[in-house]
Structure 1
Amino acid sequence: MRSAALILTLVATVLGASVVPPSSWSYPYPWPVQYYNFTSQRSNLSMAYMDVSAANTTYASNKTIVLLHGKNFCGATWEDTARRLSTHGFRVIVADQIGFCKSSKPPSYQFSLQQLAYNTHALLESLSIKQTYVLGHSMGGMLATRFALMYPEITSHLILTNPLGLEDWKALGVPWRNLDLLYADELVTNYTSLRKYQQATYYVNTWKPEYDVWVNMLVSLYQLPGENTTFAWNMAEATDMVLTQPIAYEFGLIKSKTLLLIGAKDNTAIGKAWSPPEVQAKLGNYALLGKETVAKIPNADLVEFDGLGHSPQVQDSEKYHQALFDWLDRSS
């Protein structure tokens, strides 16, 4: 029997496409990692994902939920939420997007929210999933919104946790930054810079030792031999993607039942770091953005966590998941 790698190589030869294997990154994931192999933009790629079965069928026994990670996150960071959802009766699909974590890191790829949503939809089709809940955090929330707009027939419920894209940063004055400069920024990323950023935005200037696991996870990707520079380039492309592809003008088009879960102390805004002070002052006000956004979405609810930042699911897991499951039970 031919191996998957050999089959990909043969297909690539026929199509004139390159083969970009899955990452060699050995970070342990909580469930077995599977790979969806497909051809995209003249490359044969592997998209890593975990498929977590429902551990309890008392609740929503035939329902599926897809979890979409943010830019500084991986599928593994959803472990707590995925376990709780499985116990609540959901089949949980947790994917690493192309360019991230255990998935292929192509040296040349046009990153767009539409492309990543298309890839995710193709994964679900390969698993014969016809309808799903979609939960996204940070960049993953921006991607989840684009997914719901592109595939309303499959997206029954949309859950956004401190999503990016609630405002158009370019229109508010954030200067464009070319990919070479973004790449240079990514190349100097280290533990100190990541912790400083996460402490200021994710956890509202507090820090607990358990947060280090996610910083170290990300640092290991920037230090991965043979892949670190490609990963840094992919992250620069992802930054350009979220800065230049706003979704703020399309919330009124969402057809799914929607929940916004907002840590109101969050101040995340792509490009804030290189913006003039007068622009910085008006960006990332999630206490206001959550209210403005829920008013735009036809069938939406808002839950705000007054003392929490960009990662409420980590900072106060019990409070976050209580709000999530209360809504899931009501909306079902």
Structure 2
Amino acid sequence: MTGGKEQIMQARRFITGGKDVNAAVCCSCGVKAGTTEMKRAIKTTFTDFPQLVLTPSTMICAECERAYNDKNLRFKPIYSDKRGEYRIIDRAEVLDLICNPQDEWVLSVPYSFKKHHWLYAGLSDKHTAYIGTDDRTIIVEYDKINIVELVNSVKDCIAYGVPRKELKAGKYSVFTLVKFPFLNTCEEFFEQARPCGLIDLIVQYTPAVKDKKTFERKEENTMLTSAESNAVTLLGCIAKSSRYRAENGLQFWDGFFERRINRFKSLDAHEFVSKLSEAVGSINNGGYAEMVRDMSEDDLNDMMAVIRSKTHLIVAIVYAEKDRD
């Protein structure tokens, strides 16, 4: 999605201080008189003509030509709230400016630092923002979204340690969801702002966090039943004592362990433990054999029912808890 051409043209007029004239207009801003032929002004290596050339004219004005050749408009975040001027802003200012819109303003921010991101910026106001990025216009409708709450929520997620890549895509690993159960609630909020590119922008411009917040899971999100707790303890003991895990940790947690559980989980508890421990190269220094031996038949049946029905979740909890030992 990109902003309408009129908003983008207005932004260029605002930055350059353009005023209506009656001469042949510029092909880019659509207001000032064109002074140079496009084919002479624009380098042949330039590829984003549809966003630079917004009118049928073959001429470009001096101001737009200077903007095209201005390296700041390619490599730096820029902001304008006064006609005919713009300033380079620090990365840390970007989100504050978005959260506090002015009557008239233009904001454009680079991602790759290789493209003319300002080509996608539109003239914004207190109701709607048209923020330019490398290849799209991010449209923010302030009447429909609480931008301050959204920015703070994303910042908190990053501070707690939620992977940025997963936040951008809205696709979380089961391990992330188990470790950060609040994401289910946050995602209902985030998914409204993801299609327009706003989440991607917020994540991109949230500063790196040196000291991650210690996440204390709430009791209601971590309360396990007795059967679930037994399942986590049993599989944790088997995983901890696995020779395969010790030698191939990434492969073990990336599906190997869960596939072996799925292979044997239809068996009764004693045979399940025997087959699984043998398949993953575990020795009984974790005490899991004694654990199974001392459990009642009902407890064993309840534990196996959990392992069969919630395999993925239980393995995820075991993975999340492995670093606590």
Q: What TM bracket, shorter-length normalisation?
A: under 0.3
**Higher helix content, 1 or 2:** 2
The structure richer in strand per residue is 1
* Bigger relative contact order, structure 1 or 2 (CA pairs below 8 A, ≥6 apart): 1
Q: Which has the larger radius of gyration?
A: 2
